[in-house]
């Protein structure tokens, strides 16, 4: 067994570690503002504007979702017709008088998060290429505390560690995600609309504007 008195890398690291102290709740100083600066009125006006912004944002989010649904359906059909990713597309409606409403529909190579169960379902339906699996490894803290001295000596085949514990020293975690580049290969997996609904790429709307001929 390794000598207990011998310093190891983990002990040294702990000695040099910065200790995080709990922060006390800040007690803020309160300073008075002169009345002639109209501070009260400005704060009151700002409060109302911020409340309006919250209300308007909620309405904007609803309209944005509705417009995404409309444009996503047409974008998918155009993708199907084109047989390749059309990328960002402008959608517009032109009134008889020439007034035009338009926005740019922007697809991205980002997707909804998936767990292992959902990943398995997508692989079963569309094949292994649609899912990207990432494995990451980390030391088990309990095992490092238990065998830190031995590990610091870098003995890979150490007989002092029981066989069962050797497999516990390193922990592995696995995450799943829609494979990068899938947005460009949706047609390879089947019907565009069905695949888009399954993997849910992130879409955004930009350059939302209305131009009026007489304005």
User: pLDDT 10s per residue in the chain (215 long)?
Assistant: 444 444 554 555 556 656 555 566 678 898 999 988 999 999 999 999 999 999 999 999 999 999 999 999 999 999 999 999 999 999 999 999 999 999 999 999 999 999 999 999 999 999 999 999 998 877 777 877 777 677 666 545 667 767 777 666 667 788 999 999 999 999 999 999 999 999 999 999 999 999 988 76
Structure tokens at 121: 């379902």
Inside any domain, residue 30: no
User: pTM score, two decimals?
Assistant: 0.70
In angstroms, the CA 65 to CA 67 distance is 5
Inside any domain, residue 31: no
* Structural domain total, the chain: 2
Backbone angles phi and psi of 174, in degrees to 5 = -125, 135
In angstroms, the CA 13 to CA 26 distance is 31
Do 167 and 212 belong to one domain? Answer: no
Residue 89 burial (CB count, 10 A): 15
Do 120 and 193 belong to one domain? Answer: yes
Do 136 and 75 belong to one domain? Answer: no
* Residue 156 DSSP class: T
Inside any domain, residue 156: yes
Inside any domain, residue 163: yes
Do 47 and 124 belong to one domain? Answer: no
Do 121 and 103 belong to one domain? Answer: no
What is the domain range of residue 151? 113-199
Do 178 and 79 belong to one domain? Answer: no
In angstroms, the CA 202 to CA 3 distance is 56
Do 117 and 179 belong to one domain? Answer: yes
């Amino acid at each position: 067994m390794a000598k207990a008195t011998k310093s190891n890398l983990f002990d040294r690291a702990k000695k040099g570690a910065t200790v995080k102290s709990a922060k006390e709740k800040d007690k803020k100083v309160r300073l008075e503002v002169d009345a002639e600066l109209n501070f009260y009125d400005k704060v009151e006006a700002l409060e109302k504007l911020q409340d309006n912004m919250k209300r308007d944002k909620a309405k904007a989010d609803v309209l944005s979702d509705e417009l995404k649904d409309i444009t996503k359906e047409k974008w998918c059909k155009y993708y199907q017709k084109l047989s390749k990713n059309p990328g960002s597309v402008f959608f517009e409606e032109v009134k008889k008088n020439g007034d035009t409403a338009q926005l740019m529909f922007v697809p991205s190579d980002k997707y909804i998060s998936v767990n292992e169960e959902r990943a398995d379902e997508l692989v079963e339906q569309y094949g292994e290429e649609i899912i990207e699996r990432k494995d990451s490894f980390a030391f088990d803290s309990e095992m490092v505390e238990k065998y830190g001295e031995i590990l610091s000596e870098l003995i890979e085949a150490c007989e002092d560690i029981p066989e069962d514990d050797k497999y516990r020293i390193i922990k592995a975690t696995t995450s799943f995600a829609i494979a990068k580049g899938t947005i460009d290969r949706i047609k390879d997996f089947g019907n565009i609309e069905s695949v888009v609904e399954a993997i849910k790429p992130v879409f955004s709307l930009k350059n939302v504007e209305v131009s009026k001929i007489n304005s």
